[in-house]
Structure 1
Amino acid sequence: MRHDLPSHPDTLGADLRALRKTRGMTLSDLAEALGRSVGWLSQVERDKSEPSITDLRAIAGALDVSVSILFRHAAAPAAEAGYVVRKTARRKIGSTVAGLVEELLSPDLTDDFEMVHSTFQPHSRITDTVTRPTQEVGYLISGRLDVEISGITHTIEPGDSFRIRGEPFRWANPYDDPAVAIWVIAPPVY
């Protein structure tokens, strides 16, 4: 049993602390990037102060996440909080600009990994290669998806899985049906 988890891991403060630490940033680093005091940021992370929407935008930018991940999500019943995420209570993450809709399956961002439900719309793609300091495993539930890892393109079919270990990658769904995948990413990036 882990005793180092926060008592209320589903709070904005806990999520901010987890994101900051995942990026190797100290309170001072993030406070400086935001032009705010360490004391203010500490109070936000301890849920003693509520940041404004302008602050949330600045924090999201400094942590390189979407603002939507910082918005509160539907509270789970007390017995489920930190354990269960209902389909109707998933937090949308990322940007849908490239035709990718992502939802956080993990109860919060305080674990060493995150689990994401990804839907790649038909005829969508990212053109720029992405490289992140993560290990990622994807499992395709439905549709087909082309995943390019280190310059080699793989067509992934339902039931197939793949791994990316810090290599450059990009994806494309040139097909007529959506592709739905489950991704596990360590450390969390959202």
Structure 2
Amino acid sequence: MKRLGERIRRKREALHLKLNDLSKKVGISSSALSQIEKAKAFPSILTLKNIADSLNTTVGELIGENETLLNQPLIKTDQKKFVKKNESGTKLYLLSHHDPHKQMETYELEFVSGSDSKGIMTAHPGQEFCHVTEGKLAILLDGKPYVLETGDSFYFNSNITHNAQNIIEGTTRVVWVVTPPNI
């Protein structure tokens, strides 16, 4: 609760709002807001939402949901997050914590025999980097084919039409980095 109050106060001060001004916007007394900022009282959900709206932020930001990256930068292998699976069987895993301020997104793609990246990788502004950690992958970039084997890397502009496909019997695993994060 103490950290919530600190976040509210820091955000209010960053916007150069006086305690009295914010309390009027939120619809609570100055003393109630002061109690919240000093962690002597906890706001109702509705009041917290009004505070967030008045500070041009989100409830999540105020409660610290985006501080995970700063406080816990490590992702153990059993903590990677499943994102989606396409029709051909390729699975996409997120290799980092959620953070709306990230400048890149890191994934692991797991291709089963014959599967491809349709519905997972799309053309968009930015850049991409991939590194094959296991298996063999064919990448078609603007109509030109490339074959990557274990240990090979590939870097390209994301606005170019691209698709990847596993070309071996068995699994191919790829670390895929996208910037800006938008998959």
Please give the TM-score of this superposition, normalised by the length of structure 2: 0.58
- Partners of 1:133 and 1:98 in 2: how far apart? 25
Q: How does 1:3-152 map to 2 (within 5 A)?
A: 45-47=58-60, 81-110=71-100, 111-126=102-117, 130-152=122-144
Shift of 1:94: 3.0
Task: Answer yes or no: is the 8 Å Cα contact 1:137–1:183 preserved in 2.
Answer: yes
- For 1:175, give the aligned amino acid: I
Q: Is 1:177 aligned to 2:170, yes or no?
A: yes
1:111-138 Cα deviation digits (max 9, x unpaired): 1001111111111124688311120000
Shift of 1:82: 3.6
How many pairs align?
125
Q: Secondary structure at the match of 1:88?
A: helix
- For 1:112, give the aligned amino acid: Q
* Structure 2 gap ranges (5+): 1-6, 8-48
Shift of 1:172: 1.2
Assess, with a 3 A threshold, how the Cα gap between structure 1 residues 89 and 175 changes in structure 2: closer, same or farther: same
- Partners of 1:127 and 1:85 in 2: how far apart? 27
- Partners of 2:69 and 2:134 in 1: how far apart? 32
Task: Answer yes or no: is the 8 Å Cα contact 2:86–2:117 preserved in 1.
Answer: no
**More relative contact order, 1 or 2 (CA 8 Å, 6+ apart):** 1
Residue in structure 1 matched with residue 150 of structure 2 by the alignment: 158
Assess, with a 3 A threshold, how the Cα gap between structure 1 residues 92 and 45 changes in structure 2: closer, same or farther: farther
Q: CA RMSD in A?
A: 3.1
Residue in structure 1 matched with residue 160 of structure 2 by the alignment: 167
Task: Answer yes or no: is the 8 Å Cα contact 1:81–1:107 preserved in 2.
Answer: no
Task: Answer yes or no: is the 8 Å Cα contact 1:82–1:108 preserved in 2.
Answer: no
- For 2:150, give the aligned amino acid: P
| Superposed structure 1 runs of 4+ greater than 4 Å apart | 126-129
- Partners of 2:147 and 2:69 in 1: how far apart? 41
- Partners of 1:168 and 1:45 in 2: how far apart? 36
State percent identity of aligned pairs. 19
1:7-39 Cα deviation digits (max 9, x unpaired): 8xxxxxxxxxxxxxxxxxxxxxxxxxxxxxxx8
Instruction: Compare CA radii of gyration and give the structure with the larger one.
Output: 2
Shift of 1:79: 10
